[in-house]
Amino acid sequence: MAKDVIIACDFPGRQQTLGFLDAFEGHRKPFVKIGMELFYAEGPDIVRELRRRGHPVFLDLKLHDIPNTVRKAMHVLSALDVDIVNVHAAGTIEMMRAALEGLTRPDGTRPLLIAVTQLTSTSEERMQQELLIGAGINDTIVKYAQNAKEAGLDGVVCSPLEAAMVKTACGPDFLTVTPGIRFADAAKDDQVRITTPARAREIGSDYIVVGRPVTAAPDPVAAYDRCLNEFLNCQQTSFRA
């Protein structure tokens, strides 16, 4: 199964994004994540441009709406030739099935579709007190992952700390894409459920999503290489399946 580091390009516009990626000229082309900020600012052209430059793209728009709207939106996104797209599992199994339908091209091909379980910035306390979800956060994450699997999705976005339990509940081939990554010697920022690249790999992450530890680093290429080394050169310990 592919293992890779995805850089979250959380920049306000095209100029900053391309300026950042220019530093990787002559280097391994990083897998990049385009999120809401950049997509809403620049539209589909920025996706086409990064694909043209040879970057694999995770289009992180976290769709969450009625099934018919999500189906039609996914149909539009499937034409952009990206590698991964996502929805919120909270939108229900029916919505996730509609997303998959909309994404699938006439020839049967499609980008990978994954679901967000609980945002890594959400604590159990907030989930219970503000959202009135009475279950524990781990039970919620496992249930959302099982729903995504039932709908036919390829995997979930979750905290690296939850990757092992998702693999245990949904099988080793069910992808775990995990933000909330920090170097051992760095600040947490607004993230709550975090760990290091090496530990994420040990627990069972397939792809780690890294934003500020790379984009805000004094030397982003060196920070990216450090992530790659810690993540790819570390042996995954076994998980129950």
CB-nearer residue toward ligand C5P: 135 or 241 = 135
Active site residue 72: no
Distance CA 67, CA 20 (A): 36
> Could you say which residues in the range 163-202 bind ligand C5P, by CB under 6 A?
179-181, 189, 191
φ/ψ of 93, rounded to 5, equals -60, -40
CB-nearer residue toward ligand C5P: 217 or 234 = 217
Whether 120 and 90 have beta carbons less than 8 Å apart is answered as no
Q: Could you give the C-alpha distances from 156 to 21, 42, 182, in angstroms and in order?
A: 27, 26, 20
| Residue 127 makes contact with ligand C5P by CB under 6 A | no
CB-nearer residue toward ligand C5P: 48 or 182 = 182
| Residue 37 makes contact with ligand C5P by CB under 6 A | no
Chosen residue from 17, 78, 120, 140 binding ligand C5P by CB under 6 A: 120
Residue nearest to ligand C5P (CB): 211
Pairing of β 31-34 and β 84-88: unpaired
Chosen residue from 5, 7, 10, 163 binding ligand C5P by CB under 6 A: 10
Chosen residue from 39, 138, 212, 234 binding ligand C5P by CB under 6 A: 212
Distance CA 113, CA 127 (A): 25
Whether 204 and 174 have beta carbons less than 8 Å apart is answered as no
